[in-house]
Structure 1
């Protein structure tokens, strides 16, 4: 009896133990299954082409860039307390669904949480992707900018100190005291003497009028004598006789056979149109004289810059003739009209011509410094994305989050723009790799009103060419162009300093291969970039030089 009871107890114990072991194994298998499922959700993508999704690491099939891991798109236990509002396609956030599944392109939908919905246009970029994209930041700070305008100009003569010496009567050059063009003259110097029968006749008429007056002074004809003298006197003055010369004629009673012409200014003879003994006509230009101690500079200014210029603004002048010397001037006049063809107006700058080094008709480069010094937030030029009707900057929000913001720009000076609206002092903005951030899928919607994306069809066929839109991708600041290897790798393809482009072409075919992400990485044969492993693209030597110029690299 006791033996049967004991057997039943043993059998029950074995059953319970077996059930417990089975349960533990089931739980463990379920847990491992979940872990495997979780691990299987790890995806990899391309920083240049977010539509490329892979379940294992490797290279982008389009550009050859290393794929980087993306965050798990499944709703894990850590997100259990976060509310999912809806699901969207990773390539087109406008493609919205009420439940998880596949997008039209066959990609897994990603959830949008309630705490992310308020951050419209915000994109989160993994730190590894940021490093590959060479993202650089700067802080918006307040500073006073003195807007400067640089333009070409030309020296001209000061019109107020320019004179034409002309003959008022016909005759002959009896004596010429100016012997050559360029001769210096002082105010009051005798320039030449003219013989003219008309001058002799006018003097004789004046002397005759004086004699007639003396005879009829006590008679009723006295008034007629005064009238004759007045008419003869006026005729002499019109023929360029001075009051002193007329008085001398009256006192001496001797008729002069020649009349002198004097210099009206201290200056230089710019043109000599006659020689001694030459017959001349009334109104003929004899000499051209100008004072060159002060010159004018006339510069063309675009109408968009007119508001930045005021009378009295300081100007710095450079000329090729004196490369190591700068001249100073001031804006003295702004012309009242606009050239309808060039959409420019002229300004006039007064420059002192010490020792007459400067010559009329010389070309000049002028820098006009405005006195408008309002203190406003500023950002470097490299932080601005030009896109259609708006200017955009990519703001860094922290935690790997970026957002494009529309900004209104003010004056420009020294590589900086004033920000009138859109950003505040202390904000952080991206100064390089904006185009790469723009290519992230989430940011495409945020930027759709600001920029027009280009198709990748040609690139898929290997026919892509550099475009103006791509110029935003590799905006470099001056620090990036130093001779230091910033890639952390040792490769002869990374060119530093002044790049001798022609010497790279060892096979002499006139073609080179260049990395479209880092333009200073150049090879003579096709290969992958040693820094990012992208496929290097083929360019002619001239195209390589153009790319280096566009992105600020020095080359021979």
Structure 2
């Protein structure tokens, strides 16, 4: 704030040197002369003299009434240097922003399968007997003894023997009926999840097995086991849950203001604390259609290949979503924007020490600052530092100009009355 003093001093000098006069024809705003030291702008006087610090002659600084009225301000080069004014030329550039969030690894819900028993019986042997065990599709999970299953096997073998004998007969209707019985017996076994391979083995050996294995319907990790060896299980009872972890989902909560930068299909990267330096690449798979009203975030789901199993469910991961460049626009640094209530203002640099505040309409926030929708054109120059000090002076001068117009108006009316008296 030490550089605010010279600007406020200039304004005080400007205020102290303003006189208003009015008559029946004109209202005039004039400013008395103000003098400052070129080397020490904090030294301000309303009359010529020498700088008490360095002894240099004070130079005149004229207040521009027209500039005050339109809000612009003119600052001498020494003051510009002292307060560190920096400018840049506005230009169009690609709009980009990297969204970062904390993610949580989860199962791919489309790759989870429950194993249930479709027939009641007793578990004679339990081949897969602990959670976390890897199983292959078609691998026996347990051996089940079921009187119903034994009867169904016997029924199938009887139907098979009868159908084979009838195929050599002369009555085609009887042969067809026998085949229909065989198909029905076979279908009954299939409905109980007895595989075609198991039925083929039964047909080949012609021997009824006391137990029948229940097979894994897919490859994956056993995440739940709800059965014990020797237990009786009923029809429809849950036995196992198997999850394929070769592909996993990662959920991340993205803040409301970052949602314009996230879309389905975008590239995403994650890194894990226990694997420093290693990154995994995936993509945004789904954006939930509702928002968390407490955190003001939207949940985003990403899909990642996980052939080596490095991404484990319930792990936390650092997520980086890299949006595609959708369009170009005018982007200015965030520090160049003055937030004044509901207005957004930048300070234009017109050269020769002349500055002017201008209202702009901003769009999305990018990595490099704010997108400007309205108020700036490519090639114009704006202030990127010390703009708060410049804007303060220009706003005060504009306010003073308004006060001067009001006072001048009252003075004019008074003068008119005096003239009428003469």
Instruction: Give the TM-score taking structure 1 as reference length.
Output: 0.56
- Report the counterpart of residue 264 of structure 2 in structure 1: 311
Q: Is the 8 A contact 1:152 1:366 kept in 2?
A: yes
Q: Is the 8 A contact 1:195 1:259 kept in 2?
A: yes
Q: Is the 8 A contact 1:300 1:347 kept in 2?
A: yes
Separation in structure 1 between the aligned mates of residue 320 and residue 121 of structure 2, nearest angstrom: 51
- Report the counterpart of residue 290 of structure 2 in structure 1: 338
Larger relative contact order (CA 8 Å, sep ≥ 6): 2
SS at match of 1:435: helix
Separation in structure 2 between the aligned mates of residue 425 and residue 219 of structure 1, nearest angstrom: 91
Match of 2:378 among 414, 422, 425: 425
Change over 3 Å in CA distance of 1:354–1:141 after alignment to 2: farther
- Report the counterpart of residue 191 of structure 1 in structure 2: 141
Change over 3 Å in CA distance of 1:278–1:89 after alignment to 2: farther
Q: Is the 8 A contact 1:85 1:111 kept in 2?
A: no
Match of 1:169 among 110, 119, 143: 119
Separation in structure 2 between the aligned mates of residue 416 and residue 52 of structure 1, nearest angstrom: 32
- Per-residue deviation, residues 78-125 of structure 1 (Å, max 9, x unmatched): xxxxxx9743899xxxxxxxxxxxxxxxxxxx97656x47x7121233
Separation in structure 2 between the aligned mates of residue 267 and residue 199 of structure 1, nearest angstrom: 27
Instruction: Give the TM-score taking structure 2 as reference length.
Output: 0.72
- Report the counterpart of residue 368 of structure 2 in structure 1: 415
- Report the counterpart of residue 149 of structure 1 in structure 2: 99
SS at match of 1:439: helix
Unaligned runs of 5+ in 1: 1-44, 54-68, 76-83, 91-109, 447-556
Shift of residue 262, structure 1, vs aligned partner:
2.6
- Per-residue deviation, residues 357-379 of structure 1 (Å, max 9, x unmatched): 22111122322111125333321
Shift of residue 133, structure 1, vs aligned partner:
3.8
Match of 1:322 among 271, 275, 290: 275
Shift of residue 407, structure 1, vs aligned partner:
2.1
Shift of residue 184, structure 1, vs aligned partner:
2.4
Change over 3 Å in CA distance of 1:355–1:111 after alignment to 2: closer
Q: Is the 8 A contact 1:50 1:441 kept in 2?
A: no
Separation in structure 2 between the aligned mates of residue 332 and residue 398 of structure 1, nearest angstrom: 51
Shift of residue 254, structure 1, vs aligned partner:
1.5
Shift of residue 46, structure 1, vs aligned partner:
3.2
Change over 3 Å in CA distance of 1:311–1:431 after alignment to 2: same
> Number of residues paired by the alignment?
357
Match of 2:241 among 242, 266, 288: 288
Match of 2:130 among 180, 194, 217: 180
Is it true that 1:261 corresponds to 2:214 in the alignment? yes
- Report the counterpart of residue 420 of structure 2 in structure 1: none
SS at match of 2:291: coil
Change over 3 Å in CA distance of 1:445–1:207 after alignment to 2: farther
Separation in structure 1 between the aligned mates of residue 10 and residue 76 of structure 2, nearest angstrom: 16
Unaligned runs of 5+ in 2: 20-25, 33-61, 400-422
- Per-residue deviation, residues 460-501 of structure 1 (Å, max 9, x unmatched): xxxxxxxxxxxxxxxxxxxxxxxxxxxxxxxxxxxxxxxxxx
Match of 1:121 among 71, 75, 78: 71
Match of 1:87 among 25, 29, 44: 29
Separation in structure 2 between the aligned mates of residue 88 and residue 212 of structure 1, nearest angstrom: 122
Change over 3 Å in CA distance of 1:347–1:88 after alignment to 2: farther
- Report the counterpart of residue 46 of structure 1 in structure 2: 5
SS at match of 1:355: coil
Separation in structure 2 between the aligned mates of residue 159 and residue 180 of structure 1, nearest angstrom: 22
Shift of residue 240, structure 1, vs aligned partner:
0.6
Q: Is the 8 A contact 1:143 1:377 kept in 2?
A: yes
Separation in structure 1 between the aligned mates of residue 395 and residue 259 of structure 2, nearest angstrom: 41
Separation in structure 1 between the aligned mates of residue 353 and residue 360 of structure 2, nearest angstrom: 21
Change over 3 Å in CA distance of 1:300–1:393 after alignment to 2: same
Separation in structure 1 between the aligned mates of residue 320 and residue 397 of structure 2, nearest angstrom: 40
- Report the counterpart of residue 243 of structure 1 in structure 2: 196
Match of 2:347 among 384, 387, 394: 394
Is it true that 1:206 corresponds to 2:156 in the alignment? yes
Alignment RMSD: 3.5
- Report the counterpart of residue 252 of structure 1 in structure 2: 205
Shift of residue 409, structure 1, vs aligned partner:
2.8
Shift of residue 72, structure 1, vs aligned partner:
9.2
Shift of residue 239, structure 1, vs aligned partner:
0.5
Separation in structure 1 between the aligned mates of residue 77 and residue 158 of structure 2, nearest angstrom: 108
Match of 2:187 among 234, 245, 253: 234
SS at match of 1:205: helix
Separation in structure 2 between the aligned mates of residue 150 and residue 387 of structure 1, nearest angstrom: 29
- Per-residue deviation, residues 138-176 of structure 1 (Å, max 9, x unmatched): 332333233222222211112222222222222222222
